[in-house]
Amino acid sequence: MSTPSYDFAGMIELIARLQQPPPDGSTAPDGGAFTGTRQERLNDVLNAACRRGGFRTLALCDAAGLPLAMVDSPIDEAHLAGLTAVLGEALERVSRLWEGPQPETLSMDIDYSDKLVFRSFIVDRRGYSMMGVCPQDLDERGEIELAVSSVSGLIRRGITGGDL
């Protein structure tokens, strides 16, 4: 098994850009004005996804599994990073064995009422993942895709320094 290489300088640059204040006139997912940093905007997107989609918790992580934004996480950052790394590796292994379209999402029941959803995605050649817990009877796919789209735009703009 090969050891993954991480672009730590790129991640440090991304985090620095995420901490910059937003430009005037930006709008939040609820249609109101964004306030605070791009980091806070990521949290706003995750909070909106939880409210709309019924998620109990939602986390955005980088390729190494380190959390960039979290909403109501029941576990600490170190355990979240470990869990994200394990799920990312599992999805990567499935991708190598699967001959059809590349899978991007894992979903598994964690008890009789809840499931864990893990979605990987790439923005400007950097890997990210979103992980959440929601009721088993919830069809989370649309909300996850909306959150991934919103977060991808914020990350892309954070990397390039553009407006929201």
Domain edges within the chain:
8-158
Report the pLDDT value the prediction gives residue 7, as an integer from 0 to 100.
53
- Segments of the chain scoring below 70 in pLDDT: 1-36, 159-164
Report the pLDDT value the prediction gives residue 9, as an integer from 0 to 100.
58
Report the pLDDT value the prediction gives residue 85, as an integer from 0 to 100.
85
Contacts 24+ apart (CB under 8 A), 54-59: 54/134, 54/135, 54/138, 54/140, 54/143, 55/132, 55/133, 55/134, 55/140, 55/143, 56/114, 56/132, 56/133, 56/134, 57/132, 57/133, 58/130, 58/131, 58/132, 58/147, 59/84, 59/130, 59/131, 59/132
Report the pLDDT value the prediction gives residue 13, as an integer from 0 to 100.
57
8-158: CATH topology is: Beta-Lactamase (3.30.450)
Report the pLDDT value the prediction gives residue 22, as an integer from 0 to 100.
47
Distance of CA 77 to the CA centre of its chain: 14
Report the pLDDT value the prediction gives residue 79, as an integer from 0 to 100.
82
Report the pLDDT value the prediction gives residue 120, as an integer from 0 to 100.
93
Report the pLDDT value the prediction gives residue 159, as an integer from 0 to 100.
53
Q: Model confidence over 41-74: pLDDT tens digits?
A: 888 989 998 998 889 889 999 888 888 888 887 7
